[in-house]
Structure formats: structure tokens, C-alpha cells
Amino acid sequence: MSLSRFLAAACAALLFLPISAQAQAPTVDRVDPSNWWTGMVWNDVQLMVYGDHLDAVTARAPADGITVTAVHSVPNDDYAFIDVTLAEDLAPGRYDIIVSSPGGDDTIAFPVQERTVGPDGPDGFGPDDVVYLITPDRFANGNPSNDRVEGIRDEYDPSDPRMRHGGDLRGIIEHLDELEELGVTTLWLTPILENRGRNSYHGYAATDLYRVDPRFGTNDTYRELVAEAHEHGLKVIYDHVSNHIGIEHPWMENLPRESWVNGSVEDHHSDKHYKMSVADPHADPEQEELLRTFWFVDAMPDLNQEDPFVSTYLIQNMIWWIETTGLDGIREDTYPYADPEFLSEWAEALQAEYPNLSIVGEVWDTAPAYTAMYQSGSPLTTGVETHLPSVMDFALSTALRDYLQGDGGLSDVYQVLAQDLLYGDPMRVMTLIDNHDMPRAAYLADGDRKRLKQVLTMLFTLRGIPQMLYGTEIGMVGGQSHVELRADYPGGFPGDKRSAFTREGRTASENDIYDHIQSLLALRSEHEALRRGRLVQYPPTYGHPVYTYRRVGDNEEFLVIVNGGDEARRVDLEEELNHRTVPVRLVDAVTRQEASLSGQTPSRSIEVDARSANVYRVVSRKK
């Protein structure tokens, strides 16, 4: 065979080689985030690209104003990370990013939109607010057509407390009038992201961080909810989880990087809730490492925020949700479990973008010193500046709950509040008596409505940002298990025989609790002293089950008297009112009736009913 015939045959043979042996063009199936905005502080955006044949790709952006600064290939050629910089004066529009390899090109269409929230928003939440916590699946079903969704495991079974019951975002939208009428100011929804896992109605096992679960609605429905809430004067808090995802997230079948999660399905730590190791001077350093890396449960893989691509993904994801929807604040789940350096960077980046943004961290511990060290400005420290404006006050919650069920006294409440010097700002801690993870207040009260109303009065008149669980306003009873306490709200679901959203649909006892809370919230809204006034408290004396405290504002003052005893008693107010001249009038802030005082200075006292909590407006001349 001549050389020319040999070369011709060899070239012809190459045409019949398997396609896999030839360079193939990259294909892009998805990009996170799918868009960005003009005028953002965070204008260096890292795109996580999903597709095929993405190893060793290059990228370019033909248009002026958007520049590809780096392309990061990873061993898994189903992913690549592309860094782009958006010019400060970039005009809104669609911008193409060309992804190339020797086998060909693919184009990413990347919209850059005009900023909607603006650099000064959102307003955030604070002591002026009352937070209403909703588990969307159990609140109201406004769109039965999405109870079952094609392509997602069917878990709809209202008869099973562990399955989905059909509550959704539309149901919340339809009841905003009633929530506004109740007097709450802020809605905290447990996570609304897609959860494909089994028994994941609660939302804490996300399988797509950029998509609302279709059984709740769509991203547009969530945007509509935030807008409608704002029209009703209500704010919205986003429940965010940096620590973990759901086991059925597509990442777990095809990790972007080996370091994307801590451990693996086959080899990971569980049940290592070593929270106190962060503060314990005697702790083995390994304990704190286990706290950061263990899986919350086997169905919730632990994200590795020390991986720079993971941390950037999570920061951008949260900015994307704020800018997309206009939400007002964030509740950060399982705060001590994620990497502290990451959480500091995450909060700092969000507040650089939104200076008034509020973030409350779930730091679940009964020791004020432990909780306080996570709040920015605390004299205590975790060793890392958290940039965290607020934490949840589980220490006060425990004292109130112990008193409610007869296991503790009012002196315990006093003792917790006496440790407020540990906080950076005790006025900005979030207070609660129950939430979606603990037995309901009415369950602990065991039918004792007087004591329940006492604790509710303290919740709404002490310092902090009060939070109440949906159904607390009607005394819903839920037991020890999560599925029991996350019961359906009466009247929110097709076939319900009554609606507790209406006065006519509530029982007499439900209306009694509802009226009590509504009156307190109206009073709190009307008087700044009950929201932001200085707290002055007086220790209950031994054997004297009465707790008194004042809320002192610039132009008004309130006195709260809580009688924990089973008998009416005359309470000596000499210490509480010794800064006043006579006459002193106490006007019941709820009934508007004037309370009579017996005796003259220094012996001033008032009769209070058994197991009562009275809020009085103090009317007198100051010394």
C-alpha cells in the first residue's frame, strides 16, 4: 500500500471512531443563580453551571459591562463555576455568556434586571413587632389543585399527621385580613423551599434552594405573598438553613465537589449536639469539630461551608431571595451548627447589601450566657464577630414554660432577665413561649386558662421581640410530638366543620384567649413604652408569688403585676412607686378602670386577683 493510500484509509477510519473518543461540545442545563441585578454591592457573581462535558471549558461574555474573570473546572465534569463581574453602570438586559471547549460552544442567557428592593430596604423587624410563626402545610389550603404534583412523591394524606395536609401560600394570602385584625405585624413561615424527601412537610430538608415547593405554590406565589403582606402592613421572615439539605437533593446523587458535604451517606457522624463545646473552656477541641460536621439526622446531610464554593453559593442564594421577593428578615436555623467563620461572612455580606436587614439566630440553649455570646455586641464572644442582630431567647422561654406547667416560679423569670447584661442588645432578642418544635403553651397549661393568660401577658409586655405560634391565639393544644403540635388550623382546610378564623366559628374558651391576645397586641401597638420602654423589675420575695415590673418610656409608664398565687392578695407597691408623689393613679390598661390604692405614702398597696396579670398605666406627677 502506498503512503498516500495508507493515510487516506487512516483518516477514513477516524470518522468511524466512537463519539466518546472525540471532543464533545459542552451543554448547560441549569445555572444558579439564574439572574442578577444592577446596582448591587455583590456584583462579583459566581455562577454554578450544571450540564455535561464541562471539564476544561472556557467562558467569555461578548457584551461590554459583564466580564468573565475566572472559570473553575472541577473533577466532576457535570459542573463548572464561572465568576463574572457586573459593571456598576451595567444596563438591565439579557447578557450572553459563551461556554466553550474544543468540541464546541453553548450559550448561557443571563438576565440582569433592574434592582427592585433598593439599597435601603428591607426595613427589618424589631421590638415594635410581634412575630406570628406559621407551618404553611398546616395553616390553610388555598389551592387544592397543588395538593398532588406530578413528578414529586405523593405524600398528600390529611388523615396522617406525618404526611402533607395541603396547606399552601395561597391559603396564607387568603387569611391576611384575619392576621392583620389579630394585631400581629410579622409572619415567619417555616421553610417554603422544595422538599422531595419523605415526611418533609416541615420544609427543613431542601432539595432545591432556588425553588418554592410546588405543593406550596410557585416562586411567583411567594413573591405575591410578600407583596400582599406588605399591603396589610405585615412583614415576612424567611426561614433559612445554611447547615444542611435533604438527602434527596440531586447533589447527593452527584456531588459537585467531594468536599461539598461533611462526610458521606455511608460515613458520617450523627447526634453530636455538642453546642456547649463552643463556650466550654474544658472541652476537647474534637467536640466542637463534631458539632460543625455532624448530620442533624441521617436524612439531612451536613453542608461544608468551609468549601469556598459552598459558602459563595449560600450567600448568593440568600441575596437572590431577598431581591426577588422583597422579604423583610431572616430566621437562621440551627445557628451554632454551621461554620462560624462562614456565618459571620454570610451575615456581613447580607447587611452590606441591606443595612436594615434583621437576622435572628436559632441558638437553642437555656443558659443566657451561651445564647448571648452569639449576638453581636455581647461582652461574651464565640471568638468570631457574628454580625448577628438577634437571637432567640430560649432561657426566658424555659422559665415561662416551667411556670406555666407548675414546675417553676416567677422568680425564675426574674432571674433570667437579671442576666440581660450579657446581651449586646436585650431589646432585640426574640422571646417565645412555644414554637413549631416544642409542646404548645396551652398543652402545658393543661386547661388552666388563667395561668396561660398570665404568661401571654408577660410575653407581650416584657422586653424583646415576641413570637407566637399559629393557633396560640385560640389556645390550640399540641402534645409532646412534632406532628401533634403542628395540627391543622380549624377552618383552613376543605371539609372543616368550623372556622376558627371567625368569631362565630370559635368556641367561648377560644374567644377568651383570642380577645386577651388581641387586646394585648392593640395595647402594645398603641404604647411605645410597652415595646421600647426601659424594663425595671422587682424580685419576688421568698414565699411571695408576686412579680412586678415597669416599662418606662419618655412620656408614659406601665406597671405589670403578676400574682402567681391561688388567692387574691394585697400587694405593697412602696418600692415600685417610691419615685412618685401622691396621688398615684393606676389605670387598668385593658379594662380602662381606675385601680384604687389604700393608705398613704409610704404604705401604698393594691388588691389583685388570684393567678392574674394586670397591666396598669401609671398616672401621677414625678418627684
Number of other residues whose CB lies within 10 A of the CB of residue 24: 14
Instruction: Find, among 434, 427, 433, 439, the residue nearest to 455 by Cα.
Output: 433
In this model, does residue 621 exceed pLDDT 70? no
CA 186 distance to own-chain centroid: 11
3-state secondary structure 125-151: CCCCCCEEEECHHHCCCCCHHHCCCCC
pLDDT at 15: 45
pLDDT at 13: 45
Q: How confident is the model at residue 22 (pLDDT cuts 50, 70, 90)?
A: low
- Of the two residues 484 and 234, the one the predictor is more confident about is 234
In the block, which residue shows the cell 398603641?
526
Mean pLDDT of 603-615: 89
- Rounded to 5 degrees, what are φ and ψ at 416? -65, -45
In this model, does residue 590 exceed pLDDT 90? no
- 275 and 416 in a single domain? The answer is yes
pLDDT at 116: 85
In this model, does residue 475 exceed pLDDT 70? yes
- Within 354-431, residue ranges assigned H as helices are 368-372, 394-404, 410-417
Kindly report, residue by residue over 403-448, the tens digit of the pLDDT: 999 999 999 999 999 999 999 999 999 999 999 999 999 999 999 9
- 484 and 519 in a single domain? The answer is yes
In a domain, 12, yes or no: no
Q: How confident is the model at residue 479 (pLDDT cuts 50, 70, 90)?
A: confident
Tell me which DSSP letter residue 19 carries.
Answer: G
In this model, does residue 212 exceed pLDDT 80? yes
On the 0-12 / 13-18 / 19+ scale of CB atoms within 10 A, 136 is buried
Mean pLDDT of 216-236: 98
Q: How far is residue 369's CA from residue 379's CA, in Å, rounded to a whole number?
A: 10
pLDDT at 544: 73
In a domain, 122, yes or no: no
In a domain, 275, yes or no: yes
By the 8 A CB rule, do 244 and 285 touch? no
pLDDT at 332: 98
3-state secondary structure of 84: strand
Q: How far is residue 545's CA from residue 608's CA, in Å, rounded to a whole number?
A: 12
Q: Which residue type, as a one-letter code, is found at position 222?
A: Y
By the 8 A CB rule, do 138 and 488 touch? yes
Q: How far is residue 470's CA from residue 488's CA, in Å, rounded to a whole number?
A: 10
The residue among 53, 86, 113 that closes a domain is 113
Number of other residues whose CB lies within 10 A of the CB of residue 58: 16
In this model, does residue 251 exceed pLDDT 80? yes
By the 8 A CB rule, do 192 and 224 touch? no
- 487 and 545 in a single domain? The answer is no
Q: Which three cell numbers stand for residue 277?
A: 463545646
Strand order in the sheet with 534-538: 534-538, 546-552, 557-563, 612-619, 585-588, 594-595
By the 8 A CB rule, do 458 and 549 touch? no
pLDDT at 123: 86
3-state secondary structure of 469: strand
Q: Which three cell numbers stand for residue 410?
A: 416567677
- 517 and 537 in a single domain? The answer is no
In a domain, 124, yes or no: no
pLDDT at 199: 87
Which residue in the list 362, 420, 488, 576 is annotated as catalytic? Answer: 362
Instruction: Find, among 336, 421, 330, 329, the residue nearest to 374 by Cα.
Output: 336
Q: Name the percent of the chain lying above pLDDT 70.
A: 93
Q: How far is residue 386's CA from residue 374's CA, in Å, rounded to a whole number?
A: 6
CB-based contacts of 48, cutoff 8 Å, min separation 6: 31, 32, 79, 81, 256, 309, 313
pLDDT at 18: 46
- 497 and 547 in a single domain? The answer is no
By the 8 A CB rule, do 335 and 361 touch? yes
3-state secondary structure of 100: strand
For the question of residue 333 being annotated catalytic, the response is yes
The residue among 64, 86, 113 that closes a domain is 113
CATH number, domain of 187, equals 3.20.20.80
3-state secondary structure of 50: strand
CATH number, domain of 553, equals 2.60.40.1180
In this model, does residue 16 exceed pLDDT 50? no
- 136 and 93 in a single domain? The answer is no
- Of the two residues 53 and 8, the one the predictor is more confident about is 53
In a domain, 7, yes or no: no
- 30 and 167 in a single domain? The answer is no
In this model, does residue 10 exceed pLDDT 60? no
Cα angle, residue 70 at apex, residues 259 and 117 outer, rounded to 5°: 85
In a domain, 285, yes or no: yes
Number of Cα atoms under 13 Å in the Cβ half of residue 415: 13
Kindly report, residue by residue over 357-393, the tens digit of the pLDDT: 999 999 999 999 999 999 999 999 999 999 999 999 9
In a domain, 87, yes or no: yes
- 198 and 271 in a single domain? The answer is yes
By the 8 A CB rule, do 462 and 433 touch? no
pLDDT-wise least confident of 10-14, 391-395, 518-522: 10-14
CATH number, domain of 36, equals 2.60.40.10
Give the CA distances from residue 498 to residues 489, 494, 501, 504, 518, in Å, rounded to whole numbers and listed in that order.
Answer: 10, 10, 9, 9, 21
Residues pairing with 585 in the sheet? 619
Kindly report, residue by residue over 153-175, the tens digit of the pLDDT: 999 999 999 999 999 999 999 99
- 579 and 494 in a single domain? The answer is no
For the question of residue 512 being annotated catalytic, the response is no
In a domain, 265, yes or no: yes
Mean pLDDT of 36-60: 96
- 139 and 99 in a single domain? The answer is no
- 384 and 399 in a single domain? The answer is yes
- Rounded to 5 degrees, what are φ and ψ at 555? -130, 10
Q: How far is residue 13's CA from residue 304's CA, in Å, rounded to a whole number?
A: 48
Instruction: Find, among 293, 260, 264, the residue nearest to 277 by Cα.
Output: 293
Q: How far is residue 50's CA from residue 48's CA, in Å, rounded to a whole number?
A: 7
Number of other residues whose CB lies within 10 A of the CB of residue 102: 11
3-state secondary structure of 235: strand
pLDDT at 12: 46
Number of other residues whose CB lies within 10 A of the CB of residue 169: 29
- Of the two residues 542 and 171, the one the predictor is more confident about is 171
Number of structural domains found in the chain: 3
pLDDT at 20: 43
Kindly report, residue by residue over 437-468, the tens digit of the pLDDT: 999 999 999 999 999 999 999 999 999 999 99
pLDDT-wise least confident of 470-474, 509-513, 600-604: 600-604
Which residue in the list 168, 213, 307, 333 is annotated as catalytic? Answer: 333
In this model, does residue 90 exceed pLDDT 90? yes
- What's the chain's average pLDDT? 92
Tell me which DSSP letter residue 270 carries.
Answer: B
The residue among 79, 113, 147 that closes a domain is 113
- 459 and 555 in a single domain? The answer is no
Q: Can you give the residue range of the structural domain that contains 171?
A: 131-526
- Of the two residues 579 and 432, the one the predictor is more confident about is 432
Tell me which DSSP letter residue 34 carries.
Answer: S
